[in-house]
Amino acid sequence: MDTRRIGSLEVSAVGLGCNNFGTRLDFFGTASVVETALDAGITFFDTADIYGQGRSEEFLGELLAARRDRVVIATKFGMEMDPGRKGAKPEYVRRAVEDSLRRLRTDYIDLYQLHRPDPATPVEQTLAALDELVRSGKVREIGCSFFTAPELEAAREAAGAGTRFASVQNEYSLLNREPEGGVLAACERQGLAFLPYYPLACGVLTGKHRRGRSAPRESRLAGGGDWARRFLTERNLAVAEALEAYAVSRGRTLLELAVSWLLSRPAVASVIAGASTPEQVRANAAAGVWRIAPDELAEIDKTSEVRT
């Protein structure tokens, strides 16, 4: 598999999002997905302390401990674990990293990410604490998530001569192109790696969801609820169908189009798609093979403008 850079880190162009571990998947299900990912050439594993209330990190720690030097582990902090564990104040940053190191069974984290901005804490204070972690060797690179372009610029200024964010992780897909409104340009100006989450729009860009049909029982969007209302819109399903028809006309699948299109963006370092089965992992890992030409990108843009 191709590799790309996040600061000093070399990562697989397709990574594995680990938010299913400890929630939809127990330890044995997680083990099956992780082993398949390694066999497929995936070296980048993205988790967070909040996933499964720490179980995702615990599962990864047990499964990856014996091959720690073969993988790049990214985790996040800042969202509420409980009323006493949340935010980005320096004292909590120091506590959160120790908790994650323990759960991950490692003495360093490759990419440590602030999960969302903390309005109660000046970013320069958080960056100073993260800089301490980098200097101590407990963290190799730092990143952020849910940051806007102005917040990225403010963080760059606040870092001064200290460690700067190497990456930003925001939602981005053919169905949600909000980062094109400024964040991607900020990444290119600052040399930041961009990590798109929900790159497959919770499965809508795999082709398994269709207009007029119920969501497959095993899918994340089965049973309705807020997630289904957000992703299973008439507009999203219509665009996905149009994009799938375009992909098929090129001898490709919708999944290949969704992943390869993201990898065509210069700032994107790794497409971190979640998976709940080995089959999904293998399909995701193999999907980034289409080198999309400029004229094809223009056609894809036009196709994605379809309206219901």
**Which residues lie across from 139 on neighbouring strands?**
109
Domain assignment present for residue 28? The answer is yes
- Would residue 84 count as lying in a domain? yes
pLDDT at site 226: 76
Q: Give the integer Cα–Cα distance in Å for 247 and 259.
A: 12
State the residue for tokens 């709940």.
Answer: 276
Confidence of residue 223 (pLDDT cuts 50, 70, 90): low
User: Is residue 31 domain-resident?
Assistant: yes
Q: Report in angstroms the alpha-carbon separations of 243 from 63, 87, 177.
A: 37, 40, 15
pLDDT grade, residue 230 (50/70/90)? confident
Task: Give the count of domains, the chain.
Answer: 1
Distance of CA 218 to the CA centre of its chain: 22
Is 238 a member of any domain? no
Tell me, yes or no, whether 221 lies in a domain: no
Predicted TM-score of the model (pTM): 0.94
Contact 230, 224 (CB under 8 A): no
> Dihedral through CA 67, CA 69, CA 75, CA 81, nearest 10?
50
CATH number reported for the structural domain that contains residue 79 in this entry: 3.20.20.100
Residue-wise pLDDT for 64-92, tens only, equals 999 999 999 999 999 999 999 999 999 99
Cα-Cα-Cα-Cα torsion 220, 31, 47, 167, nearest 10 degrees, comes to -110
Q: Is residue 154 part of a domain?
A: yes
Higher pLDDT, 60 or 207: 60
What gap in Å lies between CA 34 and CA 274, rounded to an integer? Answer: 11
What is residue 221's predicted lDDT score, i.e. its pLDDT?
65
Q: Domain of 80?
A: 3-201+266-290
Q: Point out the residues that are catalytic.
A: 51
What phi-psi label fits residue 73: left (phi over 0), alpha (psi between -120 and 50 degrees) or beta?
Answer: beta
User: What pLDDT digit, counting tens, does each position of 116-130 carry?
Assistant: 999 999 999 999 999
For residue 136, pLDDT over 80 is answered with: yes
Residue 231 domain flag: no
- H helical segments located in 160-270: 183-190, 225-231, 234-249, 254-263
Does residue 261 sit within a domain? no
Single-letter residue type at 118: D
